[in-house]
Structure 1
Amino acid sequence: MSLIEYKNSAHGFSVAPMLDWTDRHCRVFHRKLTRHAWLYSEMVTTGAIIYGNNLPRFLGHEFDEPVVLQLGGADALELAHCAKLGEEWGYNEINLNVGCPSDRVQNNMIGACLMDHPKIVSEGVDAMKQKVSIPVTVKSRIGLDDNEDFNKLVDFVGGIIEAGGNGVILHARNAWLQGLSPKENREVPPLRYDWVRRIKQTFPDFSIAINGGIATPESGLDFLKNEQDLPALDGVMLGRAAYENPYLLSSVDNLYYQDNAPIPSRQQVLESLYPYIESHLQDGGKLHQVSRHILGLFHGMPGGRLWRRYLSENAFKEGAGLEVVETALQKVNDEIYRMEQAS
């Protein structure tokens, strides 16, 4: 499948941007599981890019396309500048974060609080569109705090469309800016999947994807079908479920992109990551910087707890190398063999 067929991350399947989680090492690992899913960077603030004096740290990535750079910011000129840099660094899409409810983003007037400032969002989208040739999308919640005004969400999305945006990924919960932690914000506000479908009904020609509470790629397929009198959506985004049980991603290419290539085993996925781990270590990196992302590879499998425990206890040690991962894998295989013999 050529890149042009992917359109933008509001189509098909994507893995959500997760702060401190979806870094470049995580994306390399996830790409071993799915060739086609859209992978996101962590949210990077415009200030970090402009004033951090370390573009490789904030913009560097492997050949993991299609890949999205998610920006956090509110100043249109700064967003445009950083979007242009993102395109120059090889990203296939720019996404504006209008969904993160943490205190850190609230204090800087970015993230979810921008839902109350739709003009700032539309001006930012317009400025970025004028600077880049790649798609520009927005990821947001469906509202703030106890606001239950669907028309406000209509106006918000309408402003993005008028600004030339290419798609919206809607986390189908309100964001509570006071009284809930970021973790609680992912679990406590009620899910309103019908609101996302109603937005698609309102803007049938605009790309709309859904996020929030979706447990597996298989269950996500339901959102790509009509539901009673509400239309099908264009895309599905998984977050924590895909991170905590990453082997879920191995089914994505077949389910969402009709790619019938053989699905690799967990061990094959792991072994395909070995050259990257060795290269990272040779460049002065630490094993735990990569291994922390693969702790869930054997989730729910015999030996999965042994795998997780051994890596957690040994990958941080000074001089830890690939042999730590190989030993952890052997523990999994030994446990599988033990259970087979016992049965």
Structure 2
Amino acid sequence: MNTQALEKTTSTHPQAQPDSVNRRFSIAPMMDWTTSDCRVLHRLMSRHTLLYTEMVTTGALIHGDAARHLRYEDSEHPIALQLGGSNPADLATCTRMAQEWGYDEVNLNVGCPSDRVQNNMIGACLMEFPERVAECLAEMQAAVDIPVTVKHRLGIDDLDSFEHLHRFVEVVRQSGCRSFTIHARKAILDGLSPKENRDIPPLMYDRVYRIKELFPDLEVVINGGIKTLEECDTHLQHVDGVMIGREAYQNPWPLLSQADARFFNDDHPYLSRLDVAEAFIPHLEKRLAEGAPLYAVIKHLLGLFHGQRGGKQFRRYLSENGHKRDAAVDTFRAALALVTPSPDTE
């Protein structure tokens, strides 16, 4: 399919109409990272950034401990649940569960490249089957009133042409889904690990921009390799929203503390790094009272003082002492005493 043909098929579409969720700036779903503890921390730095859960499979919700996977703190809103699955009926059931639990959005994962999810027809392998994805999204939307969105790659393996991406979006949009988050890399399912798939396939931001040009009625959010607010500004000249991944976890404060003023027109005073850590302590105390190990909770704060004087000592102290049986809030406070944030960046 040539470029002129692509333009002809989509030139009369209206501009994208936003729903009730603002996706201008969001934090990507990341396995083992974007837990409830992590999201509570992130919310202390930004009131408006859209936060996503880790991917949860339909089987885990239908046949497992649903409450364990769906539980969150009220402070985490706006919050989206990301589901993994390919059975339309099961996805509809889980989407209804999400609405009942009060989630603001449900997102379908069509991007995870791990062997485990491939074997269960979950994640990036679904890019080969846009009709199935459309069917899933249609059933999910019919089941609830909250927004249902999709997150996908540019392609997979040899199905990596722009024409394939265009057809995927064209077919999937027929489900009624109007918000597409696109990781600007393809996934290589045969030969690369999930970790390697986050770095090795080249970023092709221009393809995401092109999708927005061809489908102006869709909300297009870009994801992949974005690390700074300045990069976000550049992308927002071409697309509707930006999703940040690992950088928001490993060095959250420079991004999240500025996000509300920069992207949501809310210039409320933001907390310093130390204030964020102190404000997190009541949540830490609650989680310890519930029986959670200290390190399992505070590991999400290891990047809070990235680049600050004492930041390495803070991380080392928690890594060495946070696993001990008697580790408690005092352990965390002792680590904080090692930090001296820079006055101009705290």
Report if TM-score (shorter chain) is over 0.5. Answer: yes
Q: Does 1:172 align with 2:179?
A: no
State the distance in 1 between where 2:77 and 2:158 align. 38
Deviates more, 1:149-158 or 1:130-139: 149-158
Does the Cα contact within 8 Å between 1:216 and 1:238 map onto a contact in 2? no
Structure 1 unaligned spans of 5+: 226-231, 338-343
State the distance in 2 between where 1:239 and 1:72 align. 18
Q: Does 1:327 align with 2:322?
A: no
State the distance in 2 between where 1:62 and 1:219 align. 31
Q: Determine helix, strand or coil for the equivalent of 2:72.
A: coil
Residue 259 (structure 2) aligns with: 252
Residue 68 (structure 2) aligns with: 57
Q: Does 1:285 align with 2:292?
A: yes
The one-letter code matched in structure 2 to 1:95 is N
Of 20, 32, 44 in structure 1, the residue corresponding to residue 44 of structure 2 is: 32
Residue 156 (structure 1) aligns with: 168
Does the Cα contact within 8 Å between 2:154 and 2:160 map onto a contact in 1? no
How far apart are residue 37 of structure 1 and its match?
A: 0.5
State the distance in 2 between where 1:336 and 1:188 align. 35
State the distance in 1 between where 2:248 and 2:275 align. 18
How far apart are residue 251 of structure 1 and its match?
A: 1.1
Of 108, 128, 133 in structure 1, the residue corresponding to residue 120 of structure 2 is: 108
The one-letter code matched in structure 1 to 2:240 is D
Note the aligned Cα RMSD (angstroms).
1.5
Q: 1:222 to 1:336 in 2, by over 3 A?
A: closer
Residue 303 (structure 2) aligns with: 296
Q: Determine helix, strand or coil for the equivalent of 2:300.
A: coil
How far apart are residue 336 of structure 1 and its match?
A: 7.2
How far apart are residue 175 of structure 1 and its match?
A: 0.3
Does the Cα contact within 8 Å between 2:110 and 2:122 map onto a contact in 1? yes
Residue 279 (structure 2) aligns with: 272
Q: How many residues align?
A: 324
Residue 244 (structure 2) aligns with: 238
Q: Determine helix, strand or coil for the equivalent of 1:233.
A: coil
Q: 1:205 to 1:280 in 2, by over 3 A?
A: same
How far apart are residue 6 of structure 1 and its match?
A: 7.0
The one-letter code matched in structure 2 to 1:233 is V
Does the Cα contact within 8 Å between 1:8 and 1:167 map onto a contact in 2? no
Does the Cα contact within 8 Å between 2:131 and 2:172 map onto a contact in 1? no
Q: Any idea what the Cα deviations from partners look like across 1:137-189, whole Å, max 9, x if unmatched?
A: 00000111133421221121122221011301000000000111111111111
Residue 94 (structure 1) aligns with: 106
How far apart are residue 56 of structure 1 and its match?
A: 1.6
Q: Any idea what the Cα deviations from partners look like across 1:201-256, whole Å, max 9, x if unmatched?
A: 1110110000001112331111111xxxxxx2000000001101011211111111
State the distance in 1 between where 2:326 and 2:339 align. 23
State the distance in 2 between where 1:101 and 1:281 align. 34
Residue 229 (structure 1) aligns with: none
State the distance in 2 between where 1:166 and 1:66 align. 18
Q: Determine helix, strand or coil for the equivalent of 1:236.
A: strand
Of 111, 130, 136 in structure 1, the residue corresponding to residue 148 of structure 2 is: 136
Q: Determine helix, strand or coil for the equivalent of 1:69.
A: strand
Does the Cα contact within 8 Å between 1:303 and 1:336 map onto a contact in 2? no
Residue 228 (structure 1) aligns with: none
Deviates more, 1:84-93 or 1:279-288: 279-288
TM-score w.r.t. length of structure 1: 0.92
Q: Does 1:127 align with 2:139?
A: yes
TM-score w.r.t. length of structure 2: 0.91
State the distance in 1 between where 2:275 and 2:185 align. 37
Structure 2 unaligned spans of 5+: 1-17
The one-letter code matched in structure 1 to 2:307 is G
Does the Cα contact within 8 Å between 2:128 and 2:159 map onto a contact in 1? no
The one-letter code matched in structure 2 to 1:240 is R
Q: Does 1:8 align with 2:15?
A: no
State the distance in 2 between where 1:70 and 1:282 align. 28
Q: Determine helix, strand or coil for the equivalent of 2:195.
A: helix
Residue 12 (structure 2) aligns with: none
Of 21, 39, 46 in structure 1, the residue corresponding to residue 33 of structure 2 is: 21
Residue 270 (structure 2) aligns with: 263
